[in-house]
Structure 1
Amino acid sequence: MTYVIAQPCVDVMDRSCVEECPVDCIYEGGRALYIHPDECVDCGACEPVCPVEAIFYEDDLPEEWAPYINDNADFFTETLADREAPLGSPGGAMKLGAIPADAPLVASLPPQQADG
């Protein structure tokens, strides 16, 4: 099991979770952040600092956002636009910086508007 970032993060990407993550497993895509399922140690430090409540433990993910489990993993296992090969497990997001691509579900979404 792992933590998953769902739809509320799309086009927001606050990055508070990145600062809290002790193992540097939260990667930045073009429109969303992604937690590497093999690098996450399930500490939960990211969840309470997310201002848009987009991070969930996989078992607690609301049904409406269940597709984000696979989409989050696809960011690392699929060859996405602007990438020649799958990202795999690079062992830390900081050394890579932002990756100008998104997993298929996130990439297919229309621009998200902030509430308020």
Structure 2
Amino acid sequence: MAFVITSPCIGEKAAECVQVCPVDCIQEGKEMYYIDPEICIDCGACEAVCPVDAIYPEEEVPEEEKQFIQLNADFFK
């Protein structure tokens, strides 16, 4: 299980999450940031600092944002 960055990050790209991640699992994409589910240690540091509430634990991603689970994983393939 990992954390997932969702649609509120699109165009926002605040970098607080990157700065607090202890394992450097967050990478910047063209429109938003993404979390690598293979590296994420589920610490929650990123969720606490996200100014637009775009980050959720995978099991708590809202139904309308579920596609971002795969989008985050696909970014690192």
TM-score by length of 1: 0.65
Residue aligning to 1:7: 7
Structure 1 or 2, whichever has the larger Rg, is 1
Structure 1 unaligned spans of 5+: 78-116
Q: Relative to total residues, which structure has the larger helix share, 1 or 2? A: 2
Deviations 1:60-80 (A, max 9, x none): 100010000001111011xxx
Structure 2 unaligned spans of 5+: none
1:69 aligns to 2:52 (yes or no): no
Question: Within 2, Cα distance between the matches of 1:76 and 1:39?
Answer: 10
Identity over aligned pairs, percent? 53
Residue aligning to 1:24: 24
Q: Relative to total residues, which structure has the larger strand share, 1 or 2? A: 2
Higher relative contact order (CA 8 A, sep 6+): 2
TM-score by length of 2: 0.98
**Aligned residue pairs, count:** 77
**Matches for 1:37-48 after TM superposition, within 5 Å:** 37-48=37-48
State the Cα RMSD in Å: 0.5
